[in-house]
């Protein structure tokens, strides 16, 4: 690969001739730990849209030459479509403001714009990455703005629809199995009977409430820091700039962003991201509970509970023939654990907002967007590859009810707690059912017992 020498304010750097990034980006790349982690495309797309609409507004405000601005608009549009994704090379672990990523974007757009106008890739003329692409902006306001835009976009367009798909799949099973009696369990011990549909209705409600919580937490993400520039004061940008750009963003994305009520807060703190992360953690805990219950209910097939049968997806053992594992619930459990871990990272990173700037923004963005993606995909695969294919074992459910000592609870209103407990102990010691014991002890007939326990739980 051939390299060309470029100079910036810090001295010489060498840049690949065919690269769509410039000197500051290359220097930034050299000054990371190169973990191999990159900010996801949804974030880069949001940042590119900010640049695109900022250029359009700067035309209206007569702050940019129309030819230069139109080249920026077209080039930023290409980035937003994913055409230049390979040019974004800066690691997540970079300067905490995200300046390296912002300059990567500025230089890619400037480089492509100059190619459009002159035929030559790179350079700073006629389009300059700072003076033109970054006009009216600072890394300190566009990076948190891109974070909020990308997070809310991913939530609205991906996460919430997939959670609704899961809720619906669970609700359908709840309706289908509303008459299948089974034994309830508390403390992993037999409790009183219930319906299998009731159990699944609880799961559907958990997902429904997760959606409500996420929607409530989304309100904080609607405030954008754009217009605050370096510290929140708006230095070097017209007062109308932010509102005009945000209006274009809302029109393009069909979302409802607004200017931050206090830009100093919007740049110095990442509380809205921390709040959303905590809400996503809550949703992850819900999915973990549901996935774990499904594993237990399907355990066996002969040494476990076996009240439901999960879809068979793949061989479960490299050594035990015929073994089938609960693959999808375990996928969800691991993804949920990652989301919970991400929340811990985001919580810590959110504290690093000394004075007028949080300095862990790339880390927050990476983890928050990963959590949104993981939850959305978890909900999708759990619904499509697991819940929809679950079958109920009616006979197994029925047998557990008949064998349960918890049926003695039905006797309490007639016999009192102590006598019912005595009969339960007799049944346990004799290895018999409650039905058999009450018949032997002339407490009631089998038909009378059927009438007693035949009522809805």
Q: How far, in Å, CA of 9 to CA of 288, rounded?
A: 52
Does residue 87 contact residue 41 with C-beta atoms inside 8 Å? no
Q: How far, in Å, CA of 238 to CA of 431, rounded?
A: 83
Q: Which residues contact 106 (CB under 8 A, 6 or more apart)?
A: 51, 129, 130, 133, 134
**Is 317 a residue of the active site?**
yes
**Catalytic member of 125, 179, 256, 317:** 317
Q: Which residues contact 128 (CB under 8 A, 6 or more apart)?
A: 110
Q: How far, in Å, CA of 422 to CA of 186, rounded?
A: 21
Q: CA triplet 439, 441, 443: central angle to 5 degrees? A: 70
Cis amide leading into 161 (omega within 30): no
**Catalytic member of 9, 35, 187, 254:** 187
Nearest to 7 by CA among 98, 122, 89, 119: 122
Q: How far, in Å, CA of 438 to CA of 372, rounded?
A: 55
Cis amide leading into 371 (omega within 30): no
Q: How far, in Å, CA of 371 to CA of 217, rounded?
A: 15
**Is 256 a residue of the active site?**
no
Which residues participate in catalysis according to the annotation?
Answer: 187, 317
């Amino acid at each position: 690969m051939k390299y060309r020498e470029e100079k910036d304010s810090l001295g010489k750097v060498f840049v690949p001739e065919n690269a769509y990034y410039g000197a500051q980006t290359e220097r930034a790349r050299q000054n990371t730990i190169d973990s191999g982690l990159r900010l996801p495309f949804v974030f880069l797309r949001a940042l590119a849209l900010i640049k695109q609409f900022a250029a359009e507004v700067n035309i209206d405000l007569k702050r940019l030459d129309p030819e230069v601005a139109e080249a920026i608009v077209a080039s930023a549009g290409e980035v937003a479509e994913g055409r230049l994704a390979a040019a974004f090379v800066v690691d997540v672990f970079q300067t905490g403001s995200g300046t390296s990523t912002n300059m990567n974007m500025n230089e890619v757009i400037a480089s492509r714009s100059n190619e459009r106008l002159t035929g030559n890739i790179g350079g700073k003329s006629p389009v300059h990455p700072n003076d033109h692409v970054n006009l009216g902006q600072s890394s300190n306001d566009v990076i948190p703005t891109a974070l909020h835009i990308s997070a809310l976009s991913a939530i609205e367009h991906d996460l919430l629809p997939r959670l609704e798909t899961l809720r619906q799949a669970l609700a359908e099973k709840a309706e289908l199995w509303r008459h299948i009696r089974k034994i309830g369990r508390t403390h992993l011990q037999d409790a009183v009977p219930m319906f299998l549909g009731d159990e699944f209705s609880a799961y559907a409600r958990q997902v429904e409430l997760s959606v409500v919580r996420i929607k409530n937490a989304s309100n904080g993400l609607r405030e954008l820091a754009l217009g605050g520039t370096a510290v929140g004061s708006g230095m070097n940008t017209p007062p109308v700039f932010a509102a005009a750009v945000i209006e274009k963003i809302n029109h393009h994305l069909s979302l409802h962003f607004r200017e931050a009520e206090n830009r100093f807060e919007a740049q110095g703190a990442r509380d809205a991201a921390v709040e959303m992360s905590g809400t996503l953690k809550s949703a992850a805990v819900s999915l973990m509970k549901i996935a774990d219950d499904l594993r237990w209910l399907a355990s066996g097939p002969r040494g476990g509970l076996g009240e439901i049968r999960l879809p068979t997806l793949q061989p479960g053992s490299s050594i035990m023939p015929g073994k089938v594992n609960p693959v999808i619930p375990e996928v969800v459990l691991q993804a949920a654990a990652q989301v919970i871990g991400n929340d811990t990272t985001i919580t810590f990173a959110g504290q690093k907002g000394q004075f007028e700037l949080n300095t862990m923004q790339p880390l927050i963005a990476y983890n928050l967007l990963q959590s949104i993606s993981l939850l959305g995909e978890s909900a999708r695969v759990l619904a499509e590859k697991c819940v929809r294919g679950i079958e109920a074992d009616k006979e197994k459910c029925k047998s557990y009810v008949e064998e349960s000592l918890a049926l003695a609870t039905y006797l309490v209103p007639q016999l009192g707690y102590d006598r019912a407990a005595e009969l339960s102990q007799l049944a346990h010691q004799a290895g018999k059912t409650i039905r058999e014991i009450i018949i032997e002890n002339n407490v009631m007939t089998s038909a009378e017992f059927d009438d007693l326990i035949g009522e809805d739980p």
